[in-house]
A = this chain, B = another copy of it.
């Protein structure tokens, strides 16, 4: 007997213990976050991650590329492509420093500064609590717990 009769109301699917699984919930949450990002920024051809990279370069001018990759958990090979792309768009400048000519220091160009200046508020607004069924307090708490989850010690916000 294998359920050949038509189900009455098929719209209820139970998830059981998955509703407590952080891995499962994080995957779904990230699907939503990506969708949210593309709804807000997809037009300009900006990719997820690119804004974050520029933002961190802006806060840490001259940061070494490998350290940036490590911090943002982006693989070196991927970071190379991302930086090259941003360089081609005139947003980022690569500098080979004299004290270690193997390494690459990263800076925003004037255009890159202008871009992050122009879109920073929109970026940080697009995924904040005002677009969610979360209160501001819950949103901060979610961010706090996610930082704990990934082992990120909160540094000074400038």
Contact = CB atoms under 8 A, between A and B. Distances in A.
Interface of A: 2-7, 10-34, 36-37, 48-49, 52, 55-56, 59-64, 67-68, 71-73, 95, 97-100, 105, 107, 120, 123-124, 126-128, 132-134, 138-143, 145-152, 154-158
Contact of A26 (B33, B62, B68): B33
Nearest to A34: B23
A22 B97 contact: no
B3 A61 contact: yes
A150 B25 contact: yes
A11 B151 contact: no
Contact of A22 (B4, B6, B146, B154): B146
A86 to B, nearest CB: 17
A49 to B, nearest CB: 7
